[in-house]
Structure 1
Amino acid sequence: MSRIDEEKPFVPVRIAVLTVSDSRSLSDDRSGDVLAGRIEAAGHTLADRKILTDERTEIAAQLSHWCDDAEVDVVISTGGTGLTGRDVTVEAHRDVYEKEIDAFGTVFTFVSMKKIGTSAVQSRATGGVARGTYLFALPGSPGACKDAWDEILAPQLDYRHRPCNFVEILPRLDEHLRRK
């Protein structure tokens, strides 16, 4: 069973938040607010925050920009993970990924099933890695963002979490790009 090892130090990570929406602005971005608040309350750094419309190339470009930014360790997007024609966030993420974290979507589905039952099948939440940066795409609802953060991301982005966590392997994500 997972646990927090209180003898280890907390290691803050730098997290950027991207809201994907054709209708939201920073003043009414409840899902982005949920993520930003939880990131900072956990002791991490909110490295950047943006809102983009549902345009695949623009989303992928922003994700790539953050992957190239040494001040960003993790990117969390919210919105655009559904099944409609304008939902292109997952495709944009996959345009950038070097490796997909397949179990992220599966675990998110399990978490969602407890809250919304079989409606969880309509989400395509995903996670991956690119150029030493973690990327996660969450649904656009504040509840889904709370669930993903509280049940998956908060523990995995805590260096003290055992038996393992994302932070402890962060320095090795781009080892294939380094000269040998």
Structure 2
Amino acid sequence: MGHCSTTEFTPLNIAVLTLSDSRDLSQDTSGQFLQDALQQAGHQLVDRKLIKDDKYLIRSVISQWVADDNVQVILTTGGTGFTVRDNTPESVKPLFDREIEGFGELFRHITYTELGTSTVQSRALGGFANQTAIFCLPGSTGACRTGWNKIIKEQLDATHRPCNFVMHVKQV
């Protein structure tokens, strides 16, 4: 793995995308949780959007952020389940240069203790595109809390040992 942590916390520029056909920003408790959590951890919110769960809209917004030199991390919430309207994995996976298989695996392992076998219906995923880390979480606020507190927060902390993702994101 090599040496991939530093002694100093590095604030990252993070964008939050909520995918919902039924909610607006005022009802977006999951997106609000992610915004509050990343800011409390010392990171910067650089953009936040709520769009319909549409494959091409999702790809458009994420592609714009991936191409933006100022966006280092993208967090999405929603669209990772098994209904016909859950399009996040199909939308985002083709954009990845490299998938973070362990993110989805670990997320499902952790949520198994809360949901039992129903966690197999979670298609949470992560990956990198143009040195931008992308983590796609389920739409429930509880799932966002689990994903942030138990995985993402540490992996976006440059001081976390033995390693974290900070050295892999684009430098701004």
Q: TM-score range by the shorter chain?
A: over 0.9
Per-residue CA shift, 1:104-140, capped at 9, x if unaligned?
Answer: 1100001111222211111000001111101111000
Residues 98, 129 of structure 1: 8 Å contact kept: yes
Report what 1:30 is aligned to.
Answer: 29
Provide the rounded CA distance (Å) in 2 between the counterparts of 1:167 and 1:102: 17
Q: Partner amino acid for 1:54?
A: D
Matches within 5 A, 1:2-21: 8-21=7-20
Report what 2:91 is aligned to.
Answer: 92
RMSD: 1.3
Secondary structure at the counterpart of residue 139 of structure 2: coil
Matches within 5 A, 1:53-132: 53-132=52-131
Secondary structure at the counterpart of residue 112 of structure 1: helix
Structure 2 residue 168 is the aligned partner of structure 1 residue 169: yes
Q: Partner amino acid for 1:125?
A: A
Report what 2:42 is aligned to.
Answer: 43
Shift of 1:171: 4.4
Secondary structure at the counterpart of residue 11 of structure 1: coil
Provide the rounded CA distance (Å) in 2 between the counterparts of 1:74 and 1:171: 9
Residues 81, 123 of structure 2: 8 Å contact kept: yes
Q: Partner amino acid for 2:24?
A: S
Report what 1:175 is aligned to.
Answer: none
Residues 60, 95 of structure 1: 8 Å contact kept: no
Provide the rounded CA distance (Å) in 1 between the counterparts of 2:104 and 2:118: 14
Report what 2:135 is aligned to.
Answer: 136
TM-score, normalization by structure 1: 0.90
- Number of residue-to-residue matches in the alignment: 167
Residues 81, 137 of structure 1: 8 Å contact kept: yes
Residues 69, 170 of structure 2: 8 Å contact kept: no
Q: Partner amino acid for 1:112?
A: T
TM-score, normalization by structure 2: 0.94
Residues 132, 170 of structure 2: 8 Å contact kept: no
Residues 73, 169 of structure 2: 8 Å contact kept: no
Provide the rounded CA distance (Å) in 2 between the counterparts of 1:114 and 1:167: 28
The gaps in structure 1 that reach 5 residues or longer are 173-180
